[in-house]
Amino acid sequence: MKKYLSLIFFLLFTCSLVYGQPISGGMIGGPPNATETTKGVVELATTVEAAAGTDTVRAVTPAGLAAGVAAIPGIGASETYGSGWNGDTSAPEKDDVYDYLHQIDTNDDGDVDTIDSTLWATKLNAAEKAAASGVASLNGSSLVVQNPANATATPTASKIPIADGSGKLTGWVDAATESVAGKVELATDAETVTGTATDKVTTPANLTAKMAAPGAIGGTTAAAGKFTTGNFSGQVDAPVTTTSHRATEVATAATMYGNVHKITGAYVVTLPAAVVGMSGTFRASTAAAFSVDCNGSDHFEMFDGTVMSAGEKLTSSGTKNEFVTIYCESANTWIVIGQNGAFTNGG
């Protein structure tokens, strides 16, 4: 093998120096000195110059090449087969390269004669690596093995993860929490609609399912026509519901959450028992006086602040489009918060 290395070094040195700087004192009328751009003559380097490895204009002879190789630290004539890799157990040395090459080319003819798998297993064994932790080794078939049992499918400190029975490494990944990044599972439509799972995430399809079945709002299921808990801020765009009264009658509780009551004649509309949060607007659609009567235990507080007695009613002046808006802010009290036209105590 050394003879092949010698040939390689000779070619490298020769190619480098033949195309180097010209040798001074070229022959008069003869070929020029060789340079990096001009073919020409070169002078031969001495063995000392070859070993020094600094001359850039002279060519190297086989003897010079041998001297140069012998001068490389760790690859001298004193190095013999077996002095490194196969002859000791210390850290690998430069001559170990030659030792191993000799193992696969036993007669040094340039052909691979044999590959010693035991040699590979010995040198790659994790046990020979300085205080290595959590590493695997190769067996005689060049397969990764546990050496010792340092690879496992169960999450363990300082161990190499290996696939579980399903060929996955998911067991080594933590589940995501509010403070730990990790793996998560997708929620089903049913889980999204229920809204109680805290360990799953939703998809766009889940959100569509939730919008189709919103369920409770503010923690309490909304009663007919109203929200029972929470506050709204900003603008709420919603259609106004109109309730028509074509006779003297009682307004139902369901219509007293923002409805507009259109009164078509000289009728009396009696309110349900006042509940905090109720409200309504009463408007005359004709030029006829109408009255809004409260429950016997409730009373009105007029727009000017006058407090009426329990059971008394508000009466319009009989002008078309007159209206009064009332709101229950506290128990048994209807407060007039807006009006158009003159409304009086109708007794």
Average pLDDT over residues 249-275: 94
Q: Residue 128 — very low, low, confident or very high, per pLDDT cuts 50/70/90?
A: very low
Neighbours of 215 (CB within 10 A): 10
At 176, list the tokens: 């995501």
pLDDT in tens, 26-73: 444 457 788 788 888 888 889 898 888 888 888 888 888 888 777 765
Mean pLDDT of the chain: 74
pLDDT in tens, 134-185: 445 555 555 555 454 567 777 777 777 777 778 787 777 788 888 888 888 8
Domain limits of the chain?
2-70, 242-345
At 256, list the tokens: 């007293």
pLDDT in tens, 277-302: 999 999 999 999 999 999 889 999 99
| pTM, 2 dp | 0.36
Q: Residue 23 — very low, low, confident or very high, per pLDDT cuts 50/70/90?
A: very low
What sections of 168-230 are H helices per DSSP?
Answer: 189-194, 204-212
pLDDT in tens, 198-221: 888 889 988 888 888 766 554 455
Q: What is the dihedral of CA 270, 271, 272, 276, to 10 degrees?
A: -170
What sections of the chain are H helices per DSSP?
Answer: 2-18, 47-52, 62-70, 96-104, 117-124, 189-194, 204-212
The Cα 212–Cα 220 span in angstroms is 18
CB neighbour list of residue 305: distance below 8 Å, 6 or more residues apart: none
Higher-pLDDT residue of 121, 325: 325
Domain 242-345 fold is: Jelly Rolls (2.60.120)
What's the pLDDT at 314? Answer: 94
The Cα 132–Cα 154 span in angstroms is 21
